Amino acid sequence: MRLAERLASPKIFLAPMAGVTDAAYRILMREHGADLAYTEMVSVAGIHYRSDKTWELVFPHEDEPEIAVQLFGSVPDQFEEAAAKVVERVGEKLALIDINMACPVPKVVRKGEGSALMDDPGRAADIVRATKRGAGDGVDVTVKIRRGRTVGTELAPGFAKAMEDAGAAAVAVHGRFASEFYRGTSDWSSVERVADAVSIPVIGSGDMLDASTVARVLEEGRVKAVMVARGSYGNPWIFEDSRTILAGAPQVEHDGLERLDALEEHIRLLISTGAHLARARSLVGWYLKGMPHASELRGKGMSCSTLDDYLELIGFAREQLR
């Protein structure tokens, strides 16, 4: 499905998150209503140098219907090469290719990658054109940006227009400056200003932390879709709950036992997709937040290393709720 068709009605996407959106995470969120799920950031240099670890981030699991692959880097030729290889290897399961021009992490920005590209719109446009050449006519190329690099200097509207002129099929906008990282609040008026500046679809990002906020933005804003990131931590229901609210029905409450069931399912998905169980340590903290003995359980979770360890932990947590 091409992006224009996909965005004919409001959509809720699982945002790309480094160290988080592996196959297990994507599968679970799709089960709970995410309309599309993105890979972790994939280095075009890693693909160029034939890194097996890089390709592990790209390939969808057999249980995934499709994926969006997010690329990052700074060399246009490497983007063209990477896009062509991703299209060839992922095949029909490739929904789109997204280019990360939003990441604020210093080790990324220092290399001229991520949000650093917002200071170099010429190179950024070359990257979009190169990625489109590599992807061919059958795959949409999108861009994810921030409000700007530093507080007080908003670049997003003009930058987004330049990316549209270079051929981007949509632009996702996080309403914070890169220098803010995730501090403060996302300014959704900046997302609206981007929507005023371009004719391509705009996807909103930033502080989609609960279903009521997602529903409100999709009802009141001018975005065609939103990206949910931290709002999905320990809360795979945020996607379906948002749709429930949009339909005018009351939101369903998810009790502690349901959250523990979801945690167990998530851990089993890590195993079935071949992920390292160390990733489950973060999940324990997210799913158990606010529950009885959560601090103690998080501490115990840091020493878990096998499925049995985690099942014992979950069993103890269940007992505290009965």
- Does the pLDDT of residue 37 top 90, yes or no? yes
pLDDT of residue 221: 82
Confidence tier at 172 by pLDDT (50, 70, 90): very high
Report yes or no on 62 lying in a domain. Answer: yes
Q: Are residues 207 and 298 in the same domain?
A: no
Report yes or no on 124 lying in a domain. Answer: yes
Q: Are residues 274 and 219 in the same domain?
A: no
* Helix spans in the chain (H): 3-6, 23-31, 44-48, 52-58, 76-90, 106-109, 121-135, 156-166, 188-197, 211-220, 238-246, 256-272, 280-288, 294-301, 307-321
Whether 103 is a known active-site residue: answer yes
Instruction: Find the CATH number of the domain harbouring 35.
Output: 3.20.20.70
- Give mean pLDDT, residues 293-320: 94
Decide: 23 and 65 in contact? Cβ < 8 Å: no
* Last residue of one domain, picked from the residues 246, 270, 286: 246
Q: Are residues 106 and 235 in the same domain?
A: yes
Q: Are residues 226 and 277 in the same domain?
A: no
- Does the pLDDT of residue 322 top 90, yes or no? no
* Last residue of one domain, picked from the residues 191, 215, 246: 246
Q: What's the token pair of residue 95?
A: 């929904």
Distance CA 20, CA 40 (A): 7
Q: Are residues 44 and 120 in the same domain?
A: yes
Confidence tier at 185 by pLDDT (50, 70, 90): very high
- Does the pLDDT of residue 22 top 90, yes or no? yes
Confidence tier at 155 by pLDDT (50, 70, 90): very high
Report yes or no on 251 lying in a domain. Answer: no
Domain that holds residue 208: 3-246
Among residues 103, 116, 117, 227, the one annotated as catalytic is 103
- Per residue in 24-33, pLDDT tens? 999 999 999 9
Report yes or no on 60 lying in a domain. Answer: yes
- Per residue in 47-97, pLDDT tens? 999 999 999 999 999 999 999 999 999 999 999 999 999 999 999 999 999
* Last residue of one domain, picked from the residues 246, 266, 284: 246
Q: Are residues 260 and 219 in the same domain?
A: no
- Does the pLDDT of residue 1 top 90, yes or no? no
43-48 contact pairs (CB < 8 A, 24+): 43/71, 43/72, 43/73, 44/71, 44/72, 44/73, 44/75, 44/78, 44/79, 44/81, 44/82, 45/73, 45/75, 45/78, 47/78, 47/81, 47/82, 47/85, 47/86, 48/78, 48/81, 48/82
Cα 250 from chain centre: 27
Report yes or no on 190 lying in a domain. Answer: yes
- Give mean pLDDT, residues 269-298: 94
C-alpha distances in Å from residue 214, one per residue of 29, 222, 226: 15, 13, 7
Domain count, the chain: 2
- Does the pLDDT of residue 283 top 90, yes or no? yes
C-alpha distances in Å from residue 65, one per residue of 35, 89, 116, 188: 11, 15, 33, 31
- Of the chain, the percentage scoring pLDDT greater than 70 comes to 100
Query: In the chain, how long is the greatest CA-to-CA distance?
Result: 60
- Does the pLDDT of residue 104 top 90, yes or no? yes
- Give mean pLDDT, residues 27-43: 98
Q: Are residues 62 and 13 in the same domain?
A: yes
Distance CA 80, CA 69 (A): 14
Burial class (CB in 10 A: 0-12, 13-18, 19+), 111: middle
Distance CA 79, CA 66 (A): 21
- Per residue in 237-264, pLDDT tens? 999 999 999 999 998 899 999 999 999 9
pTM: 0.96
Q: Residues with Cβ < 8 Å from 209, sequence gap 6 or more?
A: 230, 231
Report yes or no on 70 lying in a domain. Answer: yes
Q: Are residues 58 and 136 in the same domain?
A: yes
Report yes or no on 105 lying in a domain. Answer: yes
Distance CA 310, CA 89 (A): 35
Q: Which helix (H) or strand (E) holds 146?
A: strand 140-148
Report yes or no on 18 lying in a domain. Answer: yes
- Give mean pLDDT, residues 308-312: 97
C-alpha distances in Å from residue 109, one per residue of 68, 123, 178: 23, 14, 10
Q: What angle do CA 171, 173, 176 make, to 5 degrees?
A: 160
- Give mean pLDDT, residues 224-245: 97
Q: Are residues 61 and 144 in the same domain?
A: yes
Q: Are residues 31 and 134 in the same domain?
A: yes
Q: Are residues 64 and 119 in the same domain?
A: yes
Q: Are residues 104 and 235 in the same domain?
A: yes
Distance CA 285, CA 214 (A): 23
- Give mean pLDDT, residues 310-319: 95
What integer best gives the mean pLDDT of the chain? 96
